Amino acid sequence: MSIPVPPLPEVFEVHIGRQAQEAQAAGRPEEAEKAIGYLVSEGATSAEEAKMFGDVARASLLARTMLEHVEAGRAAEADALQARIVDEYGPEVAKVVLAGLLVTAGRKQGWLPVEAYDLLMQLTDGGRDVADIIQGVGRGQPTD
């Protein structure tokens, strides 16, 4: 049995992130970029942080498209986008994006396969912040 996981809070970052995703999905990349710029300008406290926030947001949009390719059985396109994320934004950003995908998947279904759960813990060093975020996400498929 899994513990019900509440939806993400409707805070500024989540709201603006959704706007960027919706704009990108609707074929309006300029609007998506504007939302990302706004998010970065409001949240970053240094130039380094602004670059990281922007890179993670942009790579997350690519990752969403990558997942669509995976779900449609287009492995070559998904692999190309994964390589693009690493090439354009670097392995650290790719790691953050992968962790975000795993958290999202776990929150949606209430559990992650053991390998994915363990990977998430490895990617995030099992940090307290991550433990709070994934509270209620089970390790392994429920058996009931």
**What digits encode the pLDDT tens for the residues 107-141?**
788 888 888 888 888 877 766 666 667 767 878 88
Question: Which pTM value belongs to this model?
Answer: 0.76
Reported confidence tier of residue 2, pLDDT bands at 50, 70, 90: very low
pLDDT of residue 22: 92
Can you give the pLDDT at residue 126?
A: 63
Q: Does the pLDDT of residue 67 top 90, yes or no?
A: no
Mean pLDDT of 66-91: 93
- Mean pLDDT confidence for 90-101: 89
Q: Return the pLDDT at 119.
A: 83
Buried b / exposed e across 94-120, counting CB within 10 Å, b at 16+?
Answer: bebbbbbbbbebbbeebbbeeebbeeb
Mind listing the pLDDT tens digit for each residue in 5-57? 455 555 677 788 889 989 998 999 999 999 999 989 988 899 999 999 999 99
Beta bridge partners of 138: 111
Q: Looking at residues 77-87, what average pLDDT do you find?
A: 94
- State the Cα–Cα distance between residues 41 and 32, nearest whole angstrom: 14
More confident residue, 59 or 135: 59
Residue with tokens 């060093």: 125
Two tokens, residue 26: 């609707």
Residue 4 pLDDT: 47
Question: Could you give the residue ranges of the DSSP H alpha helices within the chain?
Answer: 12-25, 29-43, 47-71, 75-89, 91-109, 114-123, 128-133
Which of the two residues, 144 and 85, has the higher pLDDT score? 85
CA-CA distances (angstroms) from residue 99 to 35, 94, 143? 22, 9, 25
